[in-house]
């Protein structure tokens, strides 16, 4: 079973659906959701953007990513565990909480 806070490698379609690229994704969902074998994730990219949250070295609980990377909390998706290529690393509780706060803020009615 995959766990909340893990970063995994998944095939991710381009936004215009013209192709697929292997990309890291952060698992947001908790154990209750994850045991269904569907995971709620958000995209991680090596392309900086104003919406992205930089993953600093102290944000990793174990392992790391090979490139400077940003979590894109506005790019949320659901995947089945069968398409995950491999586990890459795990982020800290504090960094995960920060991402969840930002996502929560995106979903609040204004």
Would you give the DSSP letter of residue 47? Answer: S
Residues 63-71 have a mean pLDDT of 96
* The total number of structural domains that make up the chain: 1
- Predicted confidence at residue 93, as pLDDT, reads 98
Q: Does residue 79 belong to any structural domain of this protein? A: yes
pTM of the model: 0.92
Q: Does residue 43 belong to any structural domain of this protein? A: yes
- Predicted confidence at residue 17, as pLDDT, reads 85
Question: Domain range spanning residue 54?
Answer: 6-107
pLDDT at 14 over 90: no
* CATH number of the domain that residue 59 is part of: 2.30.30.110
Query: Which of 42, 50, 35, 37 has its CA nearest to residue 12?
Result: 42
Q: Does residue 48 belong to any structural domain of this protein? A: yes
Q: Does residue 89 belong to any structural domain of this protein? A: yes
The residues that bridge with 87 in the sheet, in sequence order, are 8
Q: Does residue 47 belong to any structural domain of this protein? A: yes
- Predicted confidence at residue 100, as pLDDT, reads 96
Q: Does residue 44 belong to any structural domain of this protein? A: yes
Q: What is the b/e burial string over 29-44, where b = at least 16 CB atoms within 10 angstroms of the residue's CB?
A: beeeebeeeebbbbbb
Q: Does residue 1 belong to any structural domain of this protein? A: no
């Amino acid at each position: 079973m995959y766990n909340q806070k893990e970063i995994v490698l998944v095939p991710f379609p381009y936004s215009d659906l013209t192709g697929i690229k292997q990309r890291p994704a952060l698992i947001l969902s908790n154990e209750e959701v994850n045991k269904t074998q569907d995971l709620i994730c958000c995209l991680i990219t090596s392309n900086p953007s104003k919406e992205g949250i930089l993953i600093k070295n102290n944000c990793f609980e174990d392992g790391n990513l090979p490139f400077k990377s940003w979590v894109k909390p506005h790019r949320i998706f659901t995947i089945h565990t069968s398409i995950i290529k491999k586990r890459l690393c795990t982020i800290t509780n504090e960094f995960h909480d920060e991402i969840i706060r930002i996502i929560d803020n995106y979903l609040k009615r204004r």
